[in-house]
């Protein structure tokens, strides 16, 4: 379901002749008896057919605008009826699937010459009944994609005229005499990367770079959570480190309507990983207001701000990641303010709430004179959260002995045998392809000291990369949310880490370490970019990525920056959610917070990839309230 705007234009001067808007529309694809493609638009509110458009099988003249698919928006321009269909507020994954299905199935049928043409087709259409058949298109499968790519590959090969080969180059000329790259799909001598690039080049360009999440990769536990969220229920899902909470959350977000769903997290870094904003930014309520102001006073302030008030009233679903770091008093305040602002006595003013996190990891950050209060300790929690799920299947680690150790550390158990296991890691050899093990520290000043010292020790020219903001006014906001510092200094030989997923298929994911091999100048913009040799064997030039934040009046602002950070050292807080493969050296002498030891230990896949220094069992700290909460929690 989505919002659809249909614009019809005059053929003579291309002026707008008619415009129809359907706020809750169902758009479906089908075929008639002549294998023409049919786009059908129905109004879900009144159950009425709005429009139906037919694209003849031998023409299929259309254009797609897919630039804003990630935001749930796209447009389809039909040349023959001279109509433009705007789609908005679509769940991004469903929109991607719809557009890919439309392009692949239409493109394949046109290329395959499977339609009837000429006079025979005209005669069939003339004698056919006025009431056309509508067979809904089957869902897009991997088979459809492979079939389309193979067909296009064969057609490209038929167009080849001559191949000239020399020791230095291979050139292919098509029938027009234009030079083309030789096809590498079935060439066994080409690298896997070259084959992937060749296959990608055969995919229709409007949907080539469109990301699609495959729900077949979800476990049964994750499917149950997804079903509850899609059903509109308030949900809390939890699990130990490495059970796929963030992975599942991305699927959930992709299934929700983007215009009325607000994705938030307790910290800026966590919010940037899921493409959201901080909870404080969404609510418009500062942490201090939960200490000083009443709900009535806070609501009055919000209602005086039109943009904040509109955001609250527009919201239908609120997603909160890393719930363990949200203060219980603040959670209570948000619930109370929502009821007042939305004039509704239901929990959170009738907003669907989806929360995710592990209360046995890092707790809320509080002042020294304040007692810690988790979200589950607020009165609002029991009223609001009616469905709780636990993800129990650990995916990050496969060693059962290590998993058992981590599960015990998580709940505060550390007997003599476990202590011995941990102490024995001091002798582990962590050499990994010329990379140093990443050192995890409890305090950020230790991290900055190590990274600066290591960078200064490299005798090569430094290259400085500076963030580019679409609106400089929001630079301080991005500084708190973007994991890359506003100014990043790199040298050839520097050890760096990806701080966001770039290409999951190639293993270029958040937490992957590598070394800067050289700086390369990009031909398109003349800028220098680092070429990184990663620990997984992949080598890539890393370019600027977009970090996007939704701000006042539902406007989007962005920062373009390299998704890299120096990684000789890292804080335990910033490592939460990462998997580190190049080895981890952990200093636990100054542990001061519940869950810190567990978070640090669970960053690696195996115990042999960890070296722990200055450990004692007192470093294992667990909050008794959180432990009691889990012991008494009833899961769905």
Final residue belonging to a domain, choices 391, 421, 436: 391
Q: Is residue 49 a part of any domain in this protein?
A: no
- Residues 362 and 425 both lie in one domain: no
- Residues 225 and 332 both lie in one domain: yes
pLDDT, tens only, 517-558: 999 998 888 899 999 999 888 999 999 999 888 887 778 889
Supply the pLDDT for residue 591.
Answer: 86
Residue 169 confidence class, pLDDT cut points 50, 70, 90: very low
Mean pLDDT of 452-478: 93
Q: Is residue 255 a part of any domain in this protein?
A: yes
Mean pLDDT of 383-411: 93
Give the integer Cα–Cα distance in Å for 610 and 605. 9
Q: Is residue 620 a part of any domain in this protein?
A: yes
pLDDT at 210 over 80: no
- Residues 613 and 529 both lie in one domain: yes
Q: In what order do the strands lie in the sheet with 468-469?
A: 468-469, 556-561, 545-550
- Residues 450 and 559 both lie in one domain: yes
- Residues 356 and 313 both lie in one domain: yes
pTM: 0.82
pLDDT at 124 over 80: no
Supply the pLDDT for residue 533.
Answer: 93
Supply the pLDDT for residue 171.
Answer: 46
pLDDT, tens only, 595-613: 999 999 999 989 999 999 8
Query: Phi, psi at residue 450, to the nearest 5°?
Result: -65, -50
pLDDT at 113 over 80: no
- Residues 163 and 310 both lie in one domain: no
For the chain, what is the mean pLDDT?
84
Q: Is residue 189 a part of any domain in this protein?
A: yes
Q: Is residue 11 a part of any domain in this protein?
A: no
Strands 528-534 vs 495-498: parallel, antiparallel or unpaired: unpaired
Q: Is residue 73 a part of any domain in this protein?
A: no
- Residues 154 and 246 both lie in one domain: no
Mean pLDDT of 286-297: 80
pLDDT at 636 over 80: yes
- Residues 315 and 226 both lie in one domain: yes
Supply the pLDDT for residue 285.
Answer: 87
pLDDT, tens only, 339-362: 999 999 999 999 999 999 999 999
Supply the pLDDT for residue 141.
Answer: 61
HSE value, Cβ hemisphere, 13 Å, CA-based, for 600? 33
Query: Phi, psi at residue 373, to the nearest 5°?
Result: -140, 115
- Residues 487 and 556 both lie in one domain: yes
- Residues 355 and 377 both lie in one domain: yes
pLDDT, tens only, 567-579: 999 999 888 888 8
Give the integer Cα–Cα distance in Å for 282 and 287. 13
Supply the pLDDT for residue 127.
Answer: 56
pLDDT at 235 over 90: yes
Supply the pLDDT for residue 582.
Answer: 82
How many angstroms separate the first and last alpha carbons of the chain?
28
Final residue belonging to a domain, choices 173, 207, 241: 207
Q: In what order do the strands lie in the sheet with 261-265?
A: 277-278, 261-265, 317-321, 352-356, 235-239, 387-391
- Residues 161 and 203 both lie in one domain: yes
Give the integer Cα–Cα distance in Å for 435 and 456. 17
**% of the chain with per-residue pLDDT over 70:** 83
pLDDT at 234 over 90: yes
- What distances in angstroms separate CA 622 from CA 406, 527, 576, 583, 613, one per listed residue? 13, 49, 16, 25, 20
> CATH number of the domain that 346 lies in?
3.40.50.300
Q: Is residue 597 a part of any domain in this protein?
A: yes
Residue 199 confidence class, pLDDT cut points 50, 70, 90: low
The least confident of 61-65, 131-135, 552-556 is: 131-135
- Its sign, for the CA torsion 343, 345, 350, 355, is positive
Q: Is residue 66 a part of any domain in this protein?
A: no
Range of the domain at 608: 413-625
pLDDT at 401 over 70: yes
Domains in the chain: how many in total? 3
Mean pLDDT of 152-175: 47
Helices (H), 26-115: 92-111
pLDDT, tens only, 483-507: 899 999 999 999 999 998 888 878 8
pLDDT, tens only, 182-197: 444 455 555 655 555 5
- Residues 349 and 422 both lie in one domain: no
Final residue belonging to a domain, choices 172, 207, 242: 207
């Amino acid at each position: 379901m989505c919002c659809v705007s249909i614009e019809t234009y005059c053929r003579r001067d291309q002026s707008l002749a008619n415009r129809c808007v359907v706020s809750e529309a169902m758009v479906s694809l089908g075929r008639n008896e002549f294998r023409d493609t049919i786009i059908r638009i129905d109004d879900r509110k009144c159950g009425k057919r709005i429009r139906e458009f037919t694209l003849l099988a031998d023409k299929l003249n259309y254009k797609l605008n897919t630039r804003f698919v990630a935001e749930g928006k796209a447009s389809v321009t039909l040349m023959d009826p001279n109509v433009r269909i705007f789609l908005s507020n679509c769940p991004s994954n469903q929109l991607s699937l719809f557009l890919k299905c439309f392009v692949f199935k239409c493109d394949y049928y046109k290329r395959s010459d499977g339609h009837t043409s000429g006079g025979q087709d005209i005669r069939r259409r003339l004698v056919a009944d006025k009431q056309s058949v509508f067979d809904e298109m089957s869902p897009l499968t991997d088979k459809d994609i492979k079939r389309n790519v193979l067909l296009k590959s064969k057609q490209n090969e038929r167009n080849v005229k001559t191949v000239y080969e020399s020791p230095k180059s291979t050139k292919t000329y098509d029938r027009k005499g234009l030079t083309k790259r030789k096809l590498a799909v079935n060439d066994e001598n080409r690298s896997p990367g070259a084959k992937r690039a060749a296959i990608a080049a055969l995919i229709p360009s409007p949907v080539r770079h469109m990301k699609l999440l495959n729900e077949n990769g979800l476990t049964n536990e994750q499917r149950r959570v997804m079903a509850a969220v899609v059903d509109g229920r308030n949900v809390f899902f939890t699990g130990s480190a490495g059970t796929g909470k963030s992975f599942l959350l991305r699927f959930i977000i992709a299934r929700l309507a983007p215009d009325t769903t607000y994705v938030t997290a307790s910290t800026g870094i966590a919010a940037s990983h899921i493409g959201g904003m901080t909870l404080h930014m969404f609510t418009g309520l500062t942490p201090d207001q939960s200490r000083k102001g009443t709900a009535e006073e806070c609501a009055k302030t919000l209602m005086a701000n039109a943009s904040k008030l509109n955001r609250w009233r527009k919201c239908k679903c609120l997603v909160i990641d890393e719930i363990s770091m949200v203060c219980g008093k603040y959670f209570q305040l948000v619930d109370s303010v929502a009821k007042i602002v939305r004039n509704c006595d239901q929990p959170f003013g009738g907003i669907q709430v989806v929360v995710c996190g592990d209360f046995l990891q890092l707790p809320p950050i509080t002042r020294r004179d304040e007692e810690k209060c988790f979200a589950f300790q607020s009165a609002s929690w029991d009223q609001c959260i009616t469905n709780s799920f636990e993800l129990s299947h650990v995916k990050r680690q496969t060693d059962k002995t290590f998993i058992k150790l981590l599960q015990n550390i998580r709940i505060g158990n550390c007997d003599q045998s476990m202590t011995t296991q941990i102490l024995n890691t001091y002798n582990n050899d962590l050499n990994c392809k010329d990379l140093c093990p990443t050192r995890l520290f409890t305090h950020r000043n230790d991290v900055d000291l190590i990274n600066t010292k290591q960078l200064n020790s490299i005798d090569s020219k430094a290259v400085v990369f500076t963030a580019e903001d679409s609106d400089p006014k929001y630079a301080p906001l991005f500084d708190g949310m973007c994991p890359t510092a506003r100014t990043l200094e790199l040298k050839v030989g520097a050890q760096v880490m990806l701080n966001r997923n770039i290409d999951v298929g190639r293993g270029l994911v958040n937490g992957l370490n590598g070394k800067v091999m050289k700086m390369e100048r990009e031909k398109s913009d003349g800028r220098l970019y680092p070429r990184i040799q990663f620990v997984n064997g992949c080598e890539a030039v890393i370019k600027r990525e977009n970090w996007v934040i939704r701000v006042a009046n539902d406007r989007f602002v962005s920062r373009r920056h390299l998704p890299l950070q120096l990684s000789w050292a890292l804080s335990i807080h910033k490592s939460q959610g990462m998997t580190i493969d190049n080895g981890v050296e952990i200093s636990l002498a100054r542990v001061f917070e519940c869950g810190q030891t567990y978070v640090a230990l669970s960053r690696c896949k195996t115990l042999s990839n960890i070296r722990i220094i200055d450990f004692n069992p007192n470093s294992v700290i667990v909050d008794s309230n959180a432990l009691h909460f889990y012991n008494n929690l009833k899961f769905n």
